[in-house]
Each structure stands twice: as C-alpha cells, then as structure tokens.
Amino acid sequence: MSSNLMVVQSDPRDAGSQRCRLGPELMMKLGLNIVDHVKLSLGHSELLCKAWPRQDLAEGILQADQFVYREVDKRYVAEKFINENCVEKVEVGKLLRADIAVVVAGGLNNAVVKDKSLLEAYIGQKLLNVAVFRNCTVSYANKSSLDNIAYVLVRDVECADSEQCAGYITKKTEFNVLEVIRLEQYNQRQQSSGISLGALQRQATVLKEAISLPLMYPQTFHKLCINRPMGVLLLGPPGVGKTSLVRTVAAECHAHLVALNGPDVFGPHPGESEENLRRIFQEAVTISEEGPCVLFIDELDALCPKRGGSGKSQENRMVAQMLTLMDGHAGRGRLVVIAATNRPNAIDPALRRPGRFDKEVHVGVPNQQERREILQVVSRGMSLAEDVDLSRLAEMTPGYTGADLTAVCHLAAYSLLSRGQAEDKNPTQISMEALRKALTEIRPSALRGFDGTTEVSPVGWSAIGGLEEVKVKLQQAVVWPLLHTEAFARLGLPRPKGVLLYGPPGCCKTTLVRAVAGACHATFLAVSGAQVYSPFLGESEKTISQVFQRARATAPAIIFLDEIDSLVGKRGEGAQSGVQERVLSTLLNEMDGIGVEISRSGGSLKVAEGSSCTDEVEKKAVPVTNNNVLVVAATNRPDMLDSALLRPGRVDRTIYVPPPDLTARAEILRVHSCKMPLSQDVDIQELADRTSLYSGADLENLCREAAMQALQQEGLDTGEVRHVHFMAALQDTAPSLDEEELQQYQTLFSK
Amino acid sequence: MQAEILTKRQLKSAYVTVQKQTVRWKEIHGNSEQYVNSLCNLSEQLDSCEKVPDDLAAFLKDFPDLKIRLRAKLLEEMEKMVGKLRETLCSLQEVSNSVSRQYAASMHTYHTHAVELGIPKVVERSATEPSVADMLEWLGDIDRAVRELYLQKQFLLDTLSYDDTRQMQSLLKKWTQGSDLDTMVMGILAHLTFFLEDS
C-alpha cells in the first residue's frame, strides 16, 4: 500500500544542506538510511536529495530542500500531495569530472570570476559533498553570499562508476567552467524559452542578422568599412507579436535584453526624463561590452512623437536626447537598438533615417498560412479533439492576429472548462465546435473600436428566395476571387476591384451582400454614411482612407458601401458643399490603390520592376494575396453615380438585381410565411400570380399584413392564416414598383 | 548494542574536537581583525596620497619622487598585511578541515553500523541525550557553516584590489560578517552538555 505525502516548504535552516525530511517509518519502508540519496519526481521538477528523518518524527510529510534540481515541465503547477512512489532511492558514487556553467549576479568584474582556474577551485570547495546529476541546477538564489554566485548549472558529469548518472563532489573532482552567465541573462533565458513563434520567420531572420552578423564576422565588417547596423524599427498593428519576436530573437542569439518602456521613462521634473533615458542607454552600453546586447524600446511613438507640433517642449527635448544618444552609440560596441510601434507616422521623422533606425521591418497581420502556423504553435500544448481542422480554422479567421488567435484558443478551453463544471465531469478535449463558438465571441483586434464601420450579421444563401441568376453572378464576382485565388492567378485574370449592385428598392440587395459576407471568410467592413460624414473639415476623407487601410491590413476583405448614391453623388451638380466630392475623390484614389500606406501586410515578396520573376518567387507569392480588397456597393439610383466610379478598373461588374419574377415571388412568399401557421386553402402560386410588380419587401409586408388581418377578423386566439386574409391584405397594399421605373433600370446599362 | 556505543563514542570525540576548534577559530579570527584594520588604514593613506595634486607646494619640488616612493612604501606595508591575512586564512582552513574530518569520520562510523542500528534506534532520544540522527545533523550543519565562512574570507582576499578604496573601506564589515559561528556552536553544544559530561 502506498500513501500520499504532503509537500511542505523546506525549513530555512536546511537551506543548502540538500536534505529531504521524511518520516522515520517511511524511511524504513523504503530501506533508506540517513544520507542515502533519493530522487524526488515532483512533476515540475526532479530533485536530488539526502534522506533525513524529521526532527519531530512525524509521518506523511515531505520537506525537501530545493537545492539540486532539474526542471522538467514549467507549466506543471506544484501539487500539494504526491504519492510515495515519487521518492526513489538512487546509488551515488564519487564524481570525477563535471562540466558546469556559473550564473553570477551583479557584474562579472571580480577577480575570481575572471580567472577560470581560480573559479574552478572555488566552486570545487563550495560544492564539496553535494551530489549532482546531469543537466541539474544547483541553486544559491535564496542565500545572500559575498561571491554573488546565484546558480551553478551542471551540464555534464562523469562518475567513477560509469553506470551511475549521479555523483557527489569530492576534493578530487575536476571542474570545467564552460561559461559564466549574468543572472539577468539567465532569468531571461528561463522566461523566454517558453515563448514560441508561429510564422514571423522572415522578420526573425532580419533581426538575427542585425544582432549576430557583426559578432560573427567582425573582421569582414572592418574590411568592408561598414558600420554595424544600429537600429531596427518594427512596424505593425497591435497584437501581431512584435514584442515576443524581439524577446525570442534575443534569447536565440544569446543577447542580453534591456527593455525600455516608453511611458516608464517620463519623470515629473524637468530634465528627469532625459536623465532616465541616458541612464538606460548607459546601462545597455555597459552590458554590451560584455556580450551582445539588445536595447528594446516598446511603444516608440509615446517616447518620440513628432516635434514642433503642439509645442510641448518636454517631448521635443526627449526626441533631441534620443537622437543624440542614437548618434553617439552608433556602430560602437555590440549594442543594437530595436524599437517597436504601431503608429509609425507618429514618430519623429528624424529617427527614421539610415544611421539611426537603419532597417524597418513590417510585421503584418498574418495571412492564412501564417495563421495556421500560429494556431499550431498556440494549440501545441492543448489536447484537441480529432475533428479540429486547423487549416479550416485558419481559413475562417481573416484579420485575426496572433494575440487574437491565442485568445480564441484560450476562450474555447475556458468554455469547455465551465461546461465541464456544470455537467460535473472532466473535460478532456477541445472540439471544433467550441473553437467556432469562441470565434464568434472574439472579434479581430484590427477591427475593434473603429469608426466608420457597422456590424453586419451574415445570413445564409437559402434565406433569399429566387434570384438564382444574380446569386451565381455575385458568387462569380465576389466569392471566387477571394476563395480561388490560385485559379485566377493561373489564368492571369486580374481580380475585380469593385462590384455594383443596383436595382429597384426592396429587392434584397443588402441581404445578398450579407449572404456573400457569410459565404466567403473575408473580413467584412460595412461603411455607413452616417459615420463617414463629420462636421470637421477633412475628417470624412480620412475616415474613408482609414477604412481602406484597415481593409488592406486585414485582407482579404470586402468593403460594403450601402446606398452609395447618398454617400458619394455625381460631381459638379447643384450647390452642395465640396465634402461629397472630396469623399468621392478619396474613394476613387483608394480604389485605384494610390493610397497604399503603412499597413502593408508581411510576407509579400516584392519583385523589382523589369527583373525576371523566378518560379520560386511566383510560387511563394501566389497564396500570399495582399491588397485583396473588394468594394461592393449597392444603390437604387445608379443614374446618380459619378461616371468615374463606374468605369472598369474601379467597379468592374455591375449586377442588376431585378424585381422578383413569378417563381421568385412564390419562393419569397414561402420563405416569409414558413413560420406562419397557414391554412390548407392558401394558394401561394395564385398569390404570386397576383403580385406582379411587388418587390421582396412588399411581399414580406403582405405576409405580415395577412397575419394582422387574421388577428383582426378572427380574434386574438386564432390559430391559422387563411387565403381570405391574404386577399384582404392584397387589397390594402399596393406595389411599390411601376413599369416605367423598371424600364429605366433595364435600359440604363444595356447600351 | 556494540554499534550504538561505537557510534556515540565517535560522535562524542567529534564534538569535543569541534568545541576546541571553535575556540581556536574565535581566537584566530579575533587576531585577524587588527590586520584588517590596519589594511583599511593603509588604504586610506594611499588614497590620500593619490589625491595630492602634482603642483601643490613649492617644497615638493625638492623631492620630485616623493609621491612614488610613498606609494611604494604603502603598498609594501599592505602586502605585508595581506600576507598576514593569508597566514590567518591557512589556520582557518586547518580548523575547517579538522571539523570536516570529524564529520566524515562520524558519517563513516554510522554507515558501517547503519544496518545494525536501524532507523528506530537512530531517532530515539531521551531527556538528557539527543538522538544519533540529531547529532549527525548538527555536526553536518557546523561543518557547512565553517566551510562557508572560510570560503567567504578566501573570496574576500582573492578579490582584493589595493586601489579600490571603497572596497577597502567595507572590508572590515565584510570580514567580521557572519562570525556568529560561535553562537551557533554554543547553542548546539548546550543540547549536548549531559552527553559530553557522561563518560
């Protein structure tokens, strides 16, 4: 029989003694004598200890000194109770030789640490009688000592008896110090080993080059007479992983990372902020003398905004100080400054020149392939059900950044947990359904808190009666280019840029677009006139161009402009103020792609004009379709639109949405009356016959009216709607369309 | 029965040695403080000597190499003091080694008789006499504490640099730091009074 042991924090008096306190009866049971070595497997770490009886001789308690350990799995939370089987006796012999690394706090400048043989002798005495095994850590972290040695990392051991994997240190043990590490760097390595990057390889390569190339080939740099790169500026929307990219790269290059948070630097007194900045730079420079060092400035836009604007002298001084520091340390030492921002245009332009921030790296919103990689990384540790298809999930999440995807996975796991709690059973696997549900709850952060767009809830194709021809056309024009990009690229077919839906009012143009939004997994931005127009000069145009910027950042995307005639009318008509015209010209420019700006998505390979495009490049470039923005507009006054908007190249396809014909009307009536309890005598076909010139909205109204009639005539407790009621409703409602109008629509584009 | 008697006899002799060695440690350490004191003093003089501007007074012109000579003299004195401290360190090492030897011997005796003794016997204690396990534990604690202290002193001497005034000034504090070894040993020996007296 084996019982559980309660794990208790070790006694401070035992610190450094490597003792593991056990009850005497347990020791007898396990056949242990005092100072016999035992191995404890505690889930998150393995400990090597010497068995001692407890002083109060109590059973059922385990008190182990965390002195020599090996971390197994950091995410594992330490448990309060462990099984006896976790305590295991090990044979330990004399140690002949050990390869070690030493972690030192507070500078590597003292004589003992500098002199390898002295350090080896010192460590030998310090660790006398301590038993160690391969890849273990000996921790002095909790004890303050003059020598500042925080950890001794044992990399490899060689015992007298080659079969044994652990040994205790005698006076004859030889030590070999492989490296001396600063404590800060060690802590960073411990932390950052947990971060893993999905995608972002391209950006990581650039950063690695900047950090490690000058270190690897100092001679070449000297010979070629080039300065080492000084600064790298990371640009990209929030949540795409700029900060974790820097941390990972720094850890991989074994560079020390000094983090500088923009807002942290500011002090209340004049001159204090500059002083802080100087101090941090100085610190980084000092560290860079010992090894490669990265100074990471997060949120650079807060630290160095554009000068001369609002006349805040403190910020101006700050920028000036920053420029001086960057110039002063350029190309010297092994310091690389990496800054990150999501508002590159708010940074003082003087910083963005070669010599200060030489390189600018765009970290864009991930495309489908990258999203898949991110999902794989995020869900690596999770247990997923078999029906989870990550590629499908990646397809469904345009515009989601790394942070969003992580949130989605976590939310799915949480919902599973809470459901498991309600049903009182242990949830085991995350299903596709849970992930889908989480997707609906988390909106991509790129679209969050953004003016000028409205929410549109997607509907299914089946909710629209009739209009089969239009549906097919719309699918060709909108869904195909987004879903089958390879086919378009293969035939050299340019993607349409704009689609215009026109037709009489009430013929479900808007609903059609909503169906499209549901059918292709693209970001859907609906622009409404109310939010675009603002009383301030220039604000409306800005909003439009921002919508396009967003859309490009989260490509593939559909921008939906409902009632476009009211948004942008014809130019040069009436005495209107120029706002509409300016919005129109902005829209035209944006559709032509002139306004391409900051938010270029990462991953696209640019090929210089005229240079031959190799096969490889082409292959890579095909799935990475950026600028994949489609404008879908709807109007019932196509004659009011500016002709410049309607030319091919802007709006390539115009689709006429006709009023419903006979069969379509029947279908629409069926769709709208499917929830009504219809009596047997209702003849939908006859109704459809008698409702020519009725639009879809009219038909919906007719159904509603008929139901009201039923309530009115039969009393409130009636159970069905009969044909008479429809007839009465037909009397009351009139068609909203007329022949003449329809004629106009049809002739408009048929020339 | 034989095993228990043998182990206890070894432990008793070990503690007697520890008692003697602790007294010795205290004595050596007390003596060493004066050396550290004078070392600090010398370092201060050296610092003052460095601070004298070259063109201070006319009378210095008559002795052009006075500063260099003075510096050499002071450094020589400091060397001497450090030499004394090194000697002290050697004696402290002897103390540490002798404690270690006692600990190792006690452990060895215990190990040879461990099977015969068994755990219940080892943890058995009475009003006048601590258990064998307790005594082994305390002996181990003392051994570690002594070695730790010795290592600290060694580290201090190894990292000493004559020109670093600030380090020199804090030397005395660091040197006497953690000298509560005496209290610790006395506390432990207090538990053992009857055991050690009993012959």
Higher pLDDT, B57 or A32: A32
The answer to whether A96 and A160 have CB atoms below 8 angstroms apart is yes
User: Taking CB atoms and an 8 Å cutoff, what residues of chain A touch B89?
Assistant: none
Give one DSSP letter per residue of A284-312, joined into a string.
Answer: HHHHHTTS-EEEEEE-HHHHSBPTTSS--
User: Going along A311-436, which residue ranges are E strands?
Assistant: 335-341, 359-362
Q: Is residue B92 part of a domain?
A: yes
pLDDT attached to residue B94:
92
Query: What is the bridge-based pairing of β-strands A19-22 and A61-64?
Result: antiparallel
Spatial distance between the Cα atoms of B92 and B98, rounded to a whole number of angstroms: 10
DSSP label at residue A355: T
Q: How far is B51 from chain A (nearest CA, A)?
A: 25
Spatial distance between the Cα atoms of A699 and A298, rounded to a whole number of angstroms: 58
Spatial distance between the Cα atoms of A139 and A426, rounded to a whole number of angstroms: 37
Nearest CA in chain A to B104: A129
User: Taking CB atoms and an 8 Å cutoff, what residues of chain B touch A125?
Assistant: 147, 151, 154
Spatial distance between the Cα atoms of A191 and B30, rounded to a whole number of angstroms: 46
Query: Which residues are CB-contacts of B3 (< 8 A; sequence separation ≥ 6)?
Result: B113, B116, B117
Residue type at position B165:
T
Nearest CA in chain A to B155: A147
Higher pLDDT, B59 or A26: A26
Spatial distance between the Cα atoms of A527 and A543, rounded to a whole number of angstroms: 10
State the pLDDT confidence band at B90, using cuts at 50, 70 and 90: very high
Q: Is residue B17 part of a domain?
A: yes
Each residue of A650-700: pLDDT tens digit?
A: 788 888 888 888 888 888 888 888 888 887 787 888 888 888 788 888 888
Mutate to test the interface with A, among B123, B132, B152 (most CBs of A within 10 A): B123
Q: How far is A110 from chain B (nearest CA, A)?
A: 6
Each residue of A597-621: pLDDT tens digit?
A: 433 433 333 333 333 333 333 333 3
Closest CB from A35, A112, A128 relative to B158: A112
Spatial distance between the Cα atoms of A524 and A551, rounded to a whole number of angstroms: 8
How much is the pTM? 0.64
| Strand order, beta sheet including A359-362 | A256-261, A293-298, A335-341, A231-235, A359-362
Our count of domains for chain B comes to 1
Q: How far is A158 from chain B (nearest CA, A)?
A: 23
Q: Is residue B140 part of a domain?
A: yes
Q: Residue A573, exposed/middle/buried by CB under 10 A (0-12, 13-18, 19+)?
A: exposed
CB–CB contact A17 B159 (8 Å) = no
Distances B82 to A118, A232, B37, B90, B92 between C-alpha atoms, Å: 18, 51, 11, 12, 15
pLDDT attached to residue A621:
32
Q: Is residue B108 part of a domain?
A: yes
Q: How far is B188 from chain A (nearest CA, A)?
A: 13
Each residue of A491-509: pLDDT tens digit?
A: 887 777 788 888 888 777 8
Q: Which residues of B touch A (CB under 8 A)?
A: 100, 107, 110-111, 114-115, 118-120, 122-123, 133-134, 136-137, 140-141, 144, 147-148, 151-152, 154-156, 158-159, 161, 174, 177
Neighbours of A325 (CB within 10 A): 21
CB–CB contact A35 B107 (8 Å) = yes
Mutate to test the interface with A, among B119, B125, B126, B170 (most CBs of A within 10 A): B119
User: Ramachandran region of residue A277, left (φ > 0), alpha (ψ -120 to 50) or beta?
Assistant: alpha
DSSP label at residue A670: H
**Segments of chain A scoring below 50 in pLDDT:** 595-626, 751
Q: Is residue B61 part of a domain?
A: no
Nearest partner of A305 among A261, A347, A349, judged by Cα: A347
Give the structural domain span for B156.
2-32+83-197
Closest CB from B136, B152, B161 relative to A146: B152
The answer to whether A693 and A659 have CB atoms below 8 angstroms apart is yes
Spatial distance between the Cα atoms of B40 and A367, rounded to a whole number of angstroms: 68
Segment (H or E) for A242: helix A242-252
DSSP label at residue A60: S
Closest CB from A34, A55, A122 relative to B155: A122
Q: Is residue B88 part of a domain?
A: yes
* Terminal CA-CA length for chain B: 17
CB–CB contact B123 A24 (8 Å) = yes
Q: How many CA atoms lie within 13 A of A341 on its CB side?
A: 22
Nearest CA in chain A to B148: A126
Q: Given the structure tokens 């002095």, which residue do they identify?
A: A140
**Model ipTM over 0.90:** no
| Helical residues (DSSP H) of chain B, grouped into ranges | 2-51, 66-122, 132-158, 165-169, 171-176, 181-191, 193-197
A663-668, long-range: CB within 8 Å, 24+ apart, which pairs?
A663/A466, A663/A688, A664/A465, A664/A466, A664/A467, A665/A466, A665/A691, A665/A692, A665/A694, A665/A699, A666/A465, A667/A465, A667/A466, A668/A465, A668/A466, A668/A696, A668/A699, A668/A700
CB–CB contact A17 B151 (8 Å) = no
Mutate to test the interface with B, among A11, A54, A146 (most CBs of B within 10 A): A146
pLDDT attached to residue A626:
44
Q: Is residue B74 part of a domain?
A: no
pLDDT attached to residue B97:
92
Nearest CA in chain A to B130: A55
Residue type at position A381:
G
Q: How far is B65 from chain A (nearest CA, A)?
A: 31
Mutate to test the interface with B, among A33, A37, A104, A128 (most CBs of B within 10 A): A33
Phi, then psi, of A704 in degrees rounded to 5: -60, -45
Size of interface A-B (CB pairs under 8 A): 63
Q: Residue A44, exposed/middle/buried by CB under 10 A (0-12, 13-18, 19+)?
A: middle
Distances B115 to A23, A27, B132 between C-alpha atoms, Å: 18, 13, 14
User: Taking CB atoms and an 8 Å cutoff, what residues of chain A touch B115?
Assistant: 33
Closest CB from A35, A111, A128 relative to B159: A111
CB–CB contact A33 B120 (8 Å) = no
Q: How far is A32 from chain B (nearest CA, A)?
A: 9
Nearest CA in chain A to B132: A34
pLDDT attached to residue A612:
36
The answer to whether A373 and A402 have CB atoms below 8 angstroms apart is no
CB–CB contact A24 B119 (8 Å) = yes
Nearest CA in chain A to B134: A55
A698 is written with which tokens? 């009219």
Each residue of A356-415: pLDDT tens digit?
A: 888 888 887 787 788 888 888 888 777 777 778 888 888 777 778 888 888 888 888 888
Nearest partner of B139 among B190, B188, B195, B84, judged by Cα: B188
Spatial distance between the Cα atoms of A550 and A553, rounded to a whole number of angstroms: 5
Nearest partner of A484 among A554, A591, A556, A436, judged by Cα: A556
Q: Given the structure tokens 């909710």, which residue do they identify?
A: A463
Q: Is residue B56 part of a domain?
A: no
Neighbours of A372 (CB within 10 A): 21
Q: How many CA atoms lie within 13 A of A589 on its CB side?
A: 17
User: Taking CB atoms and an 8 Å cutoff, what residues of chain B touch A34?
Assistant: 110, 114, 122, 133, 136
Q: Is B17 helix (H, G, I), strand (E, B) or coil?
A: helix
Query: What is the bridge-based pairing of β-strands A166-168 and A131-133?
Result: antiparallel
Q: How far is A61 from chain B (nearest CA, A)?
A: 17
Q: Which residues of A touch B (CB under 8 A)?
A: 13, 16-17, 19, 24-25, 27-28, 33-35, 52-53, 55, 57, 110-112, 118, 122, 125-126, 128, 145-147
Q: Residue A150, exposed/middle/buried by CB under 10 A (0-12, 13-18, 19+)?
A: buried
CB–CB contact A16 B110 (8 Å) = no
| Helical residues (DSSP H) of A593-732, grouped into ranges | 615-621, 643-646, 662-673, 684-690, 696-714, 723-732
